[in-house]
């Protein structure tokens, strides 16, 4: 079987490509930078350079003789990329698209509506699909590095609300099983970490991992928006993040499922383990 991975230089896509390599496959990757792909995978993948904003003939070339795709797209207009890839995949005879989506497709919160439109576009293309509806990523906590390093502090508008963040390796494991077995065609598994935790509890877990206490301080939605706009810019992205944090605060995002275990055969990775693996980022 031939696989093509989008987002292979990113958080989840790189792990999917690596898992495919580890299973003995030689995946292709569709990347904007051959240099970054080469640094990650050396000569274990076939590299296709292209940009989904302006794919030209690069997409059709990358899709030739491919059986399954792992697709990562992002941003308020991700539907357009999902449409372009899935329709081109159908034309090229690709039989299966696994899309990284979000649990919030069900709740309509944050980026949920973006991914709902993306899922619809893929359904319209007629290609077989699996939508991986993921909870928030444990790696989002890397955005706390500066305040933890500088002040031993995590600030957020989530209050005591909880969310079951998932380890990116678990997302990649579910995606890879879906690609390789085809057992989840037409399905949209909702995947989460093993337990819902408040941001204060996650801050404390990082504190234990680094051997220094980390405190939690609640901020208002307006403060959270202002701080986010500093790095993400004003607009849809910052709005989506503040929406998600409000939903956490109001206990609308504390879903825990056992789909990771059902699909991979093992328990999802704990936040304590993620914190231990990433302790050096916070020191």
Ligand X SMILES: NC(=O)c1ccc[n+]([C@@H]2O[C@H](COP(=O)([O-])OP(=O)(O)OC[C@H]3O[C@@H](n4cnc5c(N)ncnc54)[C@H](OP(=O)(O)O)[C@@H]3O)[C@@H](O)[C@H]2O)c1
Task: Using CB under 6 A, pick the residue from 25, 47, 52, 196 that binds ligand X.
Answer: 52
Q: Are residues 27 and 51 in contact, defined by beta-carbon separation less than 8 angstroms?
A: no
Stretch that binds ligand X, among 133-141, 202-210, 219-227, 245-253 (CB under 6 A): 133-141
Q: Is 74 in the site for ligand X (CB under 6 A)?
A: yes
Site for ligand X, residues 204 to 263, rule: CB under 6 A: none
Q: Which of 3, 4, 7, 82 binds ligand X (CB under 6 A)?
A: 7
Q: How far is the CB of 207 from ligand X (least distance, A)?
A: 22
Of 23, 38, 53, 93, which one interacts with ligand X (CB under 6 A)?
A: 53
Tell me if 9 contacts ligand X by CB under 6 A: yes
201-222 burial code (b ≥16 CB/10 A, e <16) = ebbbbbbebbeeebebeebeee
User: How many contiguous H segments (helices) and E segments (strands) does the chain have?
Assistant: 13, 11
Question: Is-contact 47 38, C-beta < 8 A?
Answer: yes
The stretch among 10-18, 123-131, 179-187, 221-229 that binds ligand X (CB under 6 A) is: 10-18
Q: 43, 80 in Cβ contact below 8 A? A: no
Stretch that binds ligand X, among 45-53, 188-196, 209-217, 261-269 (CB under 6 A): 45-53
- Rounded Cα gap, residues 273 and 257, in angstroms: 19
Ranges of beta strands (E only) in the chain are 3-6, 28-31, 46-49, 68-71, 96-102, 128-134, 153-156, 162-163, 190-191, 197-198, 215-218
Considering only 3, 4, 5, 13, the residue that binds ligand X (CB under 6 A) is 13
- Check: CB of residue 103 under 8 Å from CB of residue 171: no
Q: Rule CB under 6 A: choose which of 4, 59, 72, 98 binds ligand X.
A: 72
Q: How many CB atoms lie within 10 A of CB 124?
A: 13
What CA–CA distance (Å, rounded) separates 120 from 107?
Answer: 16
Among 71, 100, 174, 224, binds ligand X (CB under 6 A): 100
Query: Which one of 8-16, 40-48, 83-91, 201-209 is the stretch in contact with ligand X (CB under 6 A)?
Result: 8-16
Q: How far is the CB of 43 from ligand X (least distance, A)?
A: 19
- Which of 12, 17, 47, 204 touches ligand X by CB under 6 A? 12
- Where on the chain is the footprint of ligand X (CB under 6 A)? 7-13, 32-33, 36, 51-53, 72-74, 100, 102, 111, 134, 136-137, 140
């Amino acid at each position: 079987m031939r696989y093509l991975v989008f987002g292979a230089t990113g958080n989840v896509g790189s792990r999917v490509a690596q898992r495919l390599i580890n299973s003995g496959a030689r995946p292709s990757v569709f990347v904007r930078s051959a240099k970054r792909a080469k640094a990650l995978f050396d000569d274990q993948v076939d590299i296709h350079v292209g940009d989904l904003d302006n794919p030209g003939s690069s997409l059709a070339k990358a899709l030739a003789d491919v059986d399954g795709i792992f697709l990562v797209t992002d941003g308020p207009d991700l539907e357009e990329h999902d449409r372009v890839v899935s329709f081109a995949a159908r034309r090229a005879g690709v039989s299966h698209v696994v899309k990284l989506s979000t649990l919030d497709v069900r709740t309509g919160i944050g980026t949920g509506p973006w991914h709902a439109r993306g899922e619809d576009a893929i359904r319209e293309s007629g290609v077989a699909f699996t939508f991986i509806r993921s909870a928030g990523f444990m790696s989002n906590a890397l955005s706390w590095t500066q305040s933890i390093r500088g002040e031993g502090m995590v600030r957020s508008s989530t209050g005591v609300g909880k969310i079951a963040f998932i380890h990116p390796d678990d997302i990649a494991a579910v995606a890879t099983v879906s690609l390789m077995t085809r057992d989840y065609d037409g399905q949209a598994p909702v995947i989460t970490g093993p337990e819902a935790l408040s941001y204060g509890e996650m801050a404390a877990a990082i504190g234990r991992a680094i051997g220094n206490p980390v405190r939690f301080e609640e901020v208002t939605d307006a403060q959270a928006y202002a701080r986010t706009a500093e790095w993400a810019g004003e607009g849809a992205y910052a709005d989506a993040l503040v929406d998600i944090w409000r939903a956490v605060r109001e206990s609308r995002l504390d879903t825990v499922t056992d789909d990771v275990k059902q699909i991979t055969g093992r328990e999802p990775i704990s936040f304590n383990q993620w914190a231990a693996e990433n302790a050096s980022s916070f020191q």
